[in-house]
Structure 1
Amino acid sequence: MNSPDARAQVEVEAPADQVFSLVSDLPCLARVSEEFGSGKWLGGSAGPSVGARFRGSNRRGIRIWSTVSTVTDADPTRFAFDVRFLGLPVSRWQYDIEPTETGCKVTESTWDRRPAWFRPLTVIGTGVTDRRVHNQRNIELTLAKLKQAAESPAA
């Protein structure tokens, strides 16, 4: 696979399995994410497993759009999914979780998979002109919120 278009890492003082549970639970992911607002498992899936699909509702300001994602990895070290809109590939999102002595290191990455002809149309729908820069900022903010959520006493 080629290099991601956006990526960041954070050290989290919480067990890797706890962090996996946070990023693979759609309501929890929505609480820490900058753009993903909610998700619903499709086709009888009740949670993260390879091949499971979910409909994601995304938001940016007043703009709202939905996508369908397919889980490609769902184990304690990685949660990843491929995103499609109207059947077209949009992106891949991946959370790599590496245990450390004090908790774990989480790396969030994304790959833009939109066909070139489709990119101008997505600007209209999302309001994002530079998806790489926007996703980099969102990843950094999401990881900061994830760290806070995982390290909070209520987690």
Structure 2
Amino acid sequence: MKWTGVRYTDRPTVEVRTWIDAPPDRVWALVSDVGLMPGMSDELQSVEWLDGATGPALGARFVGRNRHEALGNWSTISYVVEYEAGHVFGWAVEDPADPSAVWRFRLHAGDGGTELSEWMQLGPGRSGLSEAIDRMPEKEEKIVFVRLREFERNMTVTLERIKQLAETG
């Protein structure tokens, strides 16, 4: 059977994992501090909590400002949709009922350290990627593939930076 690729409407996902030789509370302090995230990513430029929030909690909102060479500058509002202190921090980008993306950090303790995963899903709601697909529908699978690989690379770097900070205290 020939692989035909993945389409945006398939809600494709990417997940990256790493082992961190540090206790979960130290790792949690890093992943739950959205203000640190711009220093972990080349694309994310700034993040700030909205509505007086100072940290993650179900329903809390934050604005993220991004920059990408091909996509330009944009900002989004994200909503915390999954939250279990010390274990899970997930957010939906734009409309929580029809997000343009969903992101999640998950921590698992064991063997004196922490397994950290970062997961994301494209869609189902429209995004800047949807606009690129509208302009070049015949290239949808390639557009989605390239963007997923970019996310995978960026997520790998983010987890490596979190690992470095957590392990050096």
Which structure has the greater CA radius of gyration?
2
Correspondence list, 1:1-155, <5 A: 5-61=13-69, 63-74=72-83, 75-84=85-94, 89-115=99-125, 119-121=129-131, 129=143, 130-152=146-168, 155=169
How many Å apart are 1:117 and its aligned residue?
A: 8.6
Identity percentage of aligned residues: 30
What is the number of equivalent residue pairs in this alignment? 148
> 2-side partners of 1:118 and 1:28: how far apart?
24
> 2-side partners of 1:108 and 1:141: how far apart?
11
Does structure 2 retain, via aligned residues, the 8 Å contact 1:34–1:142?
Answer: no
Could you tell me which runs of 5 or more consecutive residues in structure 2 were left unpaired when the two chains were aligned. 1-9, 135-142
What SS does the aligned partner of 1:97 have? strand
The 1:15/1:3 distance shift into structure 2, 3 A limit, reads farther
Could you tell me which runs of 5 or more consecutive residues in structure 1 were left unpaired when the two chains were aligned. none
> 1-side partners of 2:131 and 2:75: how far apart?
15
| TM-score normalised by the chain length of structure 2 | 0.76
The 1:140/1:131 distance shift into structure 2, 3 A limit, reads same
The 1:151/1:107 distance shift into structure 2, 3 A limit, reads same
The residue identity in structure 2 corresponding to 1:95 is F
Does structure 1 retain, via aligned residues, the 8 Å contact 2:11–2:122?
Answer: no
How many Å apart are 1:17 and its aligned residue?
A: 1.4
How many Å apart are 1:102 and its aligned residue?
A: 2.5
How many Å apart are 1:89 and its aligned residue?
A: 2.2
Does structure 1 retain, via aligned residues, the 8 Å contact 2:99–2:126?
Answer: no
> 2-side partners of 1:60 and 1:19: how far apart?
27
The residue identity in structure 1 corresponding to 2:65 is S
How many Å apart are 1:149 and its aligned residue?
A: 1.4
Hey, which of these two has a bigger chunk of strand by percent?
1
The 1:102/1:67 distance shift into structure 2, 3 A limit, reads same
Off by >3 Å, runs of 4+ in structure 1? 114-120
How many Å apart are 1:131 and its aligned residue?
A: 1.8
| Aligned-pair Cα RMSD in Å | 2.8
| TM-score normalised by the chain length of structure 1 | 0.82
